[in-house]
Structure 1
Amino acid sequence: MMMSEIAKDRMARSVRKRGSVSSLNGREFWQKELHGNTKKNTVSFTDEPSQRDNASRLTVQMENTYQLGPTKHFPAVIVNHILKDVLTNYLQEEQYEPELCRQMTKTISEVIKTQVKDLMIPRYKLIVIVHIGQLKSQSILIGSRCLWDPKSDTFSSYVFRNSSLFALASVYAVYFE
């Protein structure tokens, strides 16, 4: 079956206008085009690259963003100053009372955590522990254990004493990869 030249020209114009060719073979394509029943499977083609294509093909340099360790280390000295200031300000004039000290440990640990977070040290998980006890000729041994990488993980602690109580504040900084 031969198609008229007018139908072929019309189909060629519509193909050029869309800029795509169907995945059907030639005869199926022309039959489907004539009846207006084409599949959506198309493959784009260009005879010559345009300026827009050149702009979209610009090379992009990729950068390796994987880090093997922290770019900014945890400032243990600055955190020591924070611990000293907070413990001194909150406990300088306090006398040991069990219920008050129980509440103070929570308050002091939250204040310390907030001030250390304000330093904006990226990718460190913080653990803040505060112990407050009475001074009465007794001894106490406080220990902690943790599995960590000594190259990137660290801690900071400070001990405060006044006439009736002692306080130990510790901040553990664990690098999160």
Structure 2
Amino acid sequence: VMMSGMAKDTTAPLWKKGGSLSSLSGHELRRRGAQGRPKGSKSTASYLDEPGQPDDASRLTVQMGNTYQLGPPKHFPAVTVNHILKDVLTNCLREENYEPELCGQRAKTISEIIKARVKDVMAPRYKLIVVVHIGQLDGQSILIGSRCLWDPKSDTFSSYVFRNSSLFALANVYGVYLE
């Protein structure tokens, strides 16, 4: 594409900013004066701040490399977790009486204590799920069930039931391996 000398001079600033010349006709280029635009018109130009820079969305993505690890190097320590569950539930609830207003907060506190202690002995790349149920022990019956979709070769759980004269507590810790 050949441009006249005057057209090159007036369009050079647009090229440097990354603007577009497609909206300029030959007649408009000739009518441009020293100010660089036709009389009585408004001009808009769209351009990138820095044409060579990637956009924000591509800078925020994190690329993770494959480890090609097909199984856990160390399995979930179920026996150790059972000891932790027994110790925490016994120490926290040994002398407690059932109070319905406080049981929800107690269950949250106990699950946080269990999670913190299990994380110290946990195998790498396992995700933990801790569930604690506390209920009144008054001659009634309760059935608590759980279902999980997992790989039986690497995923497992530990469970412990505690009872005193007025309450029961059931704590479950699920260890799910993250590939």
- TM (norm. structure 2) is 0.62
Unaligned regions of 5+ residues in structure 1, if any? 1-63
Specify the alignment match of 2:97 in structure 1: 95
SS at match of 2:88: helix
Rg (Cα) greater in structure: 1
1:76 to 78, 83, 95: 78
Shift of 1:154: 0.2
Q: Is the 8 A contact 2:76 2:122 kept in 1?
A: no
1:132 to 131, 134, 141: 134
One-letter amino acid of the counterpart of residue 116, structure 1: V
Specify the alignment match of 2:113 in structure 1: 111
One-letter amino acid of the counterpart of residue 168, structure 1: L
- The answer as to 2:160 corresponding to 1:149 is no
Segments of 4+ in structure 1 off by > 4 A?
Answer: none
SS at match of 1:157: strand
Shift of 1:101: 1.3
| RMSD of aligned Cα (Å) | 1.1
Unaligned regions of 5+ residues in structure 2, if any? 1-65
Percent identical residues:
83
CA distance in 2 between counterparts of 1:78 and 1:120 reads 10
One-letter amino acid of the counterpart of residue 99, structure 1: E
Specify the alignment match of 2:22 in structure 1: none
One-letter amino acid of the counterpart of residue 126, structure 1: L
Shift of 1:122: 0.2
CA distance in 1 between counterparts of 2:68 and 2:87 reads 37
Shift of 1:65: 4.6
CA distance in 1 between counterparts of 2:113 and 2:139 reads 30
Specify the alignment match of 1:160 in structure 2: 162
One-letter amino acid of the counterpart of residue 85, structure 1: D
CA distance in 1 between counterparts of 2:153 and 2:146 reads 19
Q: Is the 8 A contact 2:86 2:160 kept in 1?
A: yes
SS at match of 1:139: coil
Shift of 1:120: 4.0
Shift of 1:118: 1.1
One-letter amino acid of the counterpart of residue 76, structure 1: A
One-letter amino acid of the counterpart of residue 80, structure 1: N
SS at match of 1:169: strand
